[in-house]
Structure 1
Amino acid sequence: MKSVRMLGLSALTAIAAATALVHLPAAAQNGAYPTKPIRVVVPFTAGSSTDVIARAITDKLGASLGQQIIVDNRGGAGGTLGAAQVAHAAPDGYTILIHSSSHTVSPSTYLKLPYDTLNDFAAVTPIAALPNALVVAPSKNMKTLKDLLDQAKARPGQLNYASAGQGSATHLNAEKFRTQARIDAMHIPFKGSPEAVTEVMSGRVDYYFSPVAPVLSHIKEGRLVALAVGSPKRATALPNVPTTNEAGVPNSEFNFWIGMLVPAKTPKDIVNKLNAEVQKALASEDVKERFAKMGAEPWTMAPEQFDRYIKDDIAANARLVKEAGISPQ
């Protein structure tokens, strides 16, 4: 009778263990990660700065992790459409978000988001800081930032500026500049940076605070003129272009970043592994060279630090949205 009771207890233990195993992520069951291809969602169009940076880093990660990494562009609504897909994905490390500062702007510019920015994501690491270049078409006859300011003040409300979407980092950079410069200009949002750049080059849009990456070649070849950069310090790729602060508009800087996040409840060991792999990739010479050509500054921190940074950035952007008088949509 005793052996029967013991057999029953063993069977129950085995069943309980098997049941618990079902609820574990695949990586935890197999004792390794990754064991299959990884999808990286970029919530902006192909060719945007976030997309270019994502592809530079995922090329390296795919090799180091030994798995195929598929970049999935899901542009629209200032990056919120793609972010929503990741927020609701399984927290197993096989769906990753590479987003921009727009992630911390959206809570203030959208009345209702299909996710909770603070609670539906786990921060992994920032990847890069990208200065935004204020660019105009040569046909606008603007050589300096003062030229733009003079035109804006001579024709209040008649100049317009592009962004990569309502609430995007490019929008916030332009709004901070506009409020500090005390000019009136009309906002024209686009689906992504490539569309905005095209419209500025055509002259149909007057100016755009573009990440350096998608406009650097246009600047060098004379198709666009860089009047200033919106970052706290000058861009390494454009050393002769002043910051908006230096060019006469104090307190107009905006920190534009690109970083990696995963769904909340992703196992900590997976988060830490991704963080370590990104740090290794950023330290490699080929990634450094690719970033330098794009005007990107490598930037990383521990997951806990990035999580705190995101919380602080959400609060700072909320203040900016209020000061700029941007109405949530």
Structure 2
Amino acid sequence: MHASKRALLIACGLAATAALPFAAHADNTAAWPTKPIRLLVGFPGGSTPDIAARTIAEPLSKALGQPVVVDNKAGASGNIAADQVAKATDDHTLGIVINGNLTSSKMLYPKLPYDPAKDFTYLSLIATAPLVLVAQNSLPSGTAFFDAARQAGDKWNYGSVGVGSVGHLGMELLKSRVNGFKPEHVPYQGNPQVVTGMLGDQVQMGLIPPGVAMPQIRAGKLKAVGLTGGRSALVPEIAPLADAGVKDFNLEVWVALLGPASLSKPAQARISREIEIVMKDPDVRRKLFEQGWQAVGTSPDGMRTRVKEEAAIMSKIISTRGIKLQ
């Protein structure tokens, strides 16, 4: 065989051999998922995390070529589901979590069975929303609401989705900002239950995401006192709490997508690529907006930065207000 031809064949063989690892990696990435994906949500059906999970489940299922099955495991402010995600080893279990699972649970639960910083693969923030301070319809709004609350003292109650939730810590922060504001905390499994508690005269108020609050407010069954942060396109008719004299009260609730720390690299690469596309889809963004969410989507690093910054804020609230589990 001519020497130049032999050299060419050898070179081609070497090139093919060198390409094998990359081809195998691409094949592995394309192969995942190999069965239905279980998407754990730590709150009941109809709750804000559940709404967000079900909105992304269908388009994510189409993108991945496997069913994405939402599985509600309510309890312990979402920590039961979060722990199941952390301990999953099947490479096909993901979770939707809220702020508290990653920013405050470790400070509140000395025996928390998972480490928010070490036991998860952060994938993306999904959506954010301000919070609406909602009250029973018979109560006044604006500054008159806080005047009435001062007179009631600790005879009034507020509901939240549990100790350490944004609704709980936000109300405690509000108590520190408004002199004489002293409502007592009543925990519930989810925000729909908080709404039921207000309608049933068990609690007078709560900090609730727009997706759950607005149907009752627009139906005239509950009243909006004000909105955390500035005005929002999600609820343009609601004035900020700053208009009622509460300054610098900026809080959001958010939901995020994560997997266990053991999630394989091919799975991480595929889910990160697909969720970025899903979160840019106009139909997904519209559906989330209609349900009270502002679609965001972030890189894993962006999600980690947000968690770290908010954990510092929540730590301060917990320490200054002396918040502990009973």
- 5+ residue gaps in structure 1? 1-26
Equivalent in the alignment of 2:87:
88
Equivalent in the alignment of 1:130:
129
User: Which 4+ stretches in 1 moved above 3 angstroms?
Assistant: 27-31
Q: Provide TM-score, normalisation by structure 1.
A: 0.86
Tell me the secondary structure at the aligned position of residue 123 of structure 2: strand
Tell me the secondary structure at the aligned position of residue 172 of structure 1: helix
Return the match for 1:223 from 221, 227, 233. Answer: 221
Equivalent in the alignment of 2:166:
169
Q: CA deviation at 1:274?
A: 1.6
Return the match for 1:284 from 276, 281, 285. Answer: 281
Equivalent in the alignment of 1:16:
none
Q: Go from structure 1 to structure 2 and tell me whether the alpha carbon gap of 1:303 and 1:272 turns closer, same or farther (over 3 Å shift).
A: farther
Q: Distance in 2 between matches of 1:317 and 1:229?
A: 19
Q: Map of 1:120-269 to 2, 5 A cutoff?
A: 120-139=119-138, 141-142=139-140, 144-182=141-179, 183-230=181-228, 232-269=229-266
Equivalent in the alignment of 1:22:
none
Taking only aligned residues, the RMSD between alpha carbons, in angstroms, comes to: 1.8
Residues 115-168 of structure 1 deviation map (CA, whole Å, 9 limit, x = unaligned): 1111101110000001111111212x31x2312211121122111100011111
Number of paired residues?
Answer: 299
Q: Go from structure 1 to structure 2 and tell me whether the alpha carbon gap of 1:28 and 1:39 turns closer, same or farther (over 3 Å shift).
A: farther
State the AA in 2 paired with 1:170: G
Equivalent in the alignment of 1:69:
68
State the AA in 2 paired with 1:43: G
Q: CA deviation at 1:265?
A: 3.0
- 1:131 touches 1:295 (CA, 8 Å); kept in 2? no
Q: Distance in 1 between matches of 2:151 and 2:158?
A: 16
Tell me the secondary structure at the aligned position of residue 117 of structure 2: coil
- 2:133 touches 2:206 (CA, 8 Å); kept in 1? yes
Q: Provide TM-score, normalisation by structure 2.
A: 0.87
Q: CA deviation at 1:91?
A: 6.2
Tell me the secondary structure at the aligned position of residue 162 of structure 1: strand
Q: Distance in 2 between matches of 1:191 and 1:77?
A: 8
Tell me the secondary structure at the aligned position of residue 161 of structure 1: strand
- 1:163 touches 1:208 (CA, 8 Å); kept in 2? yes
Q: CA deviation at 1:240?
A: 2.1
State the AA in 2 paired with 1:195: Q
- 1:87 touches 1:264 (CA, 8 Å); kept in 2? yes
Tell me the secondary structure at the aligned position of residue 55 of structure 2: helix
Q: Map of 1:104-115 to 2, 5 A cutoff?
A: 104-115=103-114
Q: Distance in 1 between matches of 2:152 and 2:173?
A: 20
Tell me the secondary structure at the aligned position of residue 130 of structure 1: strand
Q: Distance in 1 between matches of 2:272 and 2:40?
A: 17
Equivalent in the alignment of 1:270:
267
Tell me the secondary structure at the aligned position of residue 259 of structure 2: strand
Q: Distance in 2 between matches of 1:160 and 1:81?
A: 26
- 1:216 touches 1:294 (CA, 8 Å); kept in 2? no
